[in-house]
Structure 1
Amino acid sequence: MTSAPAAIVELYERYAATYDGLRGKALFERPWLDRFRALLKPGGSILDIGCGSGEPIARHLIAEGHAITGVDSAPAMIALCEARFPAHRWQVADMRRLALGRRFDGLIAWDSFFHLTPQDQRGMFPVFAEHAVPGAALMFTSGPSHGEAIGTFEGEPLYHGSLDPEEYRSLLAENGFAVVAHAVEDQSCGGHTIWLARRS
């Protein structure tokens, strides 16, 4: 599986328009986004890590009055965001080496963080902490248990990795986050495994 994670950015770059069309605009994530937003001050700044095309999550957060900074490794995805939401900040960046020099009221990594290898995921928690103000909300999706899996997109391999839930809890605690809510394969949210935490 060693080559599969490295291929993800190139895959999303080639199929950005296809992904955008298939992603749909139905916001089944809204209940979790509402829980995330409830931890933020009104209009709080949000860092969207692996923002994709900005649809539908960033659009919803913008409509709710939040200032968004979005980062994604695929330039074609960032181009879509820039065209749709020019008043917000968009940057091509590798989340593993993110160093924006500022902190945010909320951080979200929805359907993006889980494309990293388990080892790279471990390295993300200090990155989260470095970009979070005291009291910041953090929400991300993961797998339900430790392991690696290969899905497909447009007939090509699509890598997913995950840590064990207890390791996620430990990493969050070590980096100053307390778990607020956690759901495993939430069927009301498309079967996603979701973590919502808050910076101490």
Structure 2
Amino acid sequence: MADKNASQKDHVVINADFFDSMGADYEKAFGHDVGLHNFIKRAVTFFPPAATVLDIGCGTGTPVASTIAAHGHRIIGIDSSQSMVDLSRKAVPSGTFEVVDMKEYSPKEKIDVVLSILSLFQLSREQIEFMSGRWADWLAPGGILCIGTMDPAELDLKDAIYDEDKMCVRGISHLFMGEPGHLILMTREGWGNMLRTAGFEVIETEKDTFEPPPEAKCDPEPHYFVIARKIS
């Protein structure tokens, strides 16, 4: 059960308008994340041939969508920022990209692979749990889910609050592109439990810390990556 007293710490200042104003500056800061590149190269080894891949929070299209398209897969990308969608369309001309809130999106077909890479930081725990059920609904049997998030165990939790069940941490202070905000992050155990409940088996996990360049004015990001398969 969530700690209702933590609600005042759940505010996050980063939103679609912020990403619209940032545009290509985001790609300059985060487009050369070696750990993310390595994770995507590993993840595609689990994809079926010529897979239909849904990239949730596609951002600039680089490096995630562009790398996957280069491996011969069909990309469908969604993002709440028009600026990001415009950049994705330029980066991956073969893809189909749309401005839409992930919580309101429904694909027109079954998907082989769903990606949510560093795109859940504006959601509450309840919204993330809701999305885990949506991912399972969207995926074909045996479909692959790839998650990129941050590991709260590797962050400064001085002012943060754990939920009673220890599956989620709220109110984590974090600087992103010069803007202070608060994160809500599932713990590693929380991710495992939530995905099993939604009908997934976790295939493997990876950890890597990304140090953004100084000009990005961002805190280090201890990334936590998950590859899972739909089993029910």
Residue in 2 aligned with 1:107?
114
Which amino acid letter does the alignment assign opposite residue 148 of structure 2? T
Residue range with higher mean Cα deviation, 14-23 or 28-37: 28-37
Residue range with higher mean Cα deviation, 188-197 or 114-123: 188-197
Alignment of 1:142-153 (within 5 A): 142-145=149-152, 146-148=168-170, 149-153=172-176
Q: Is the 8 A contact 2:75 2:94 kept in 1?
A: no
Q: Is the 8 A contact 2:169 2:186 kept in 1?
A: yes
Partner SS for 1:28: helix
Larger of the two Rg values belongs to structure: 2
Residue range with higher mean Cα deviation, 186-195 or 105-114: 186-195
Task: Provide closer, same or farther for how the CA distance between residues 3 and 31 of structure 1 changes in structure 2, counting only shifts above 3 A.
Answer: closer
Residue in 2 aligned with 1:171?
194
Task: Provide closer, same or farther for how the CA distance between residues 4 and 188 of structure 1 changes in structure 2, counting only shifts above 3 A.
Answer: closer
Q: What's the Cα RMSD here?
A: 2.2
Identity of counterpart residues, as a percentage? 25
| 1:106-164 per-position Cα deviation (integer Å, ceiling 9, x unaligned) | 11111112332222111111111121111111111233242132322332234432123
Distance 1:143 1:24 in 2: 17
Distance 2:114 2:192 in 1: 17
Structure 2 residue runs without a partner (length 5+): 1-8, 153-167, 212-220
Distance 1:123 1:31 in 2: 29
Q: Is the 8 A contact 1:46 1:106 kept in 2?
A: yes
Deviation, 1:12, is 0.9
Task: Provide closer, same or farther for how the CA distance between residues 136 and 17 of structure 1 changes in structure 2, counting only shifts above 3 A.
Answer: same
**Are 2:219 and 1:197 aligned?**
no
| 1:163-194 per-position Cα deviation (integer Å, ceiling 9, x unaligned) | 233332222122211000123x4359973111
Distance 1:124 1:181 in 2: 20
Residue in 1 aligned with 2:12?
4
| 1:19-68 per-position Cα deviation (integer Å, ceiling 9, x unaligned) | 12222345432332233212211221111111100011111111111110
Distance 1:188 1:68 in 2: 25
Distance 2:104 2:121 in 1: 16
**Are 2:129 and 1:98 aligned?**
no
Partner SS for 1:141: strand
Deviation, 1:18, is 1.4
Q: Is the 8 A contact 2:37 2:63 kept in 1?
A: no
Q: Is the 8 A contact 1:27 1:56 kept in 2?
A: no
Q: Is the 8 A contact 2:35 2:208 kept in 1?
A: no
Which amino acid letter does the alignment assign opposite residue 156 of structure 1? E
Deviation, 1:79, is 0.8
1:160 is matched with which residue: 183, 187, 211?
Answer: 183
Partner SS for 1:134: strand
Residue in 2 aligned with 1:86?
93
Number of matched pairs? 198
Structure 1 residue runs without a partner (length 5+): none
Residue range with higher mean Cα deviation, 37-46 or 50-59: 37-46
Distance 2:19 2:173 in 1: 15
Residue in 2 aligned with 1:34?
41
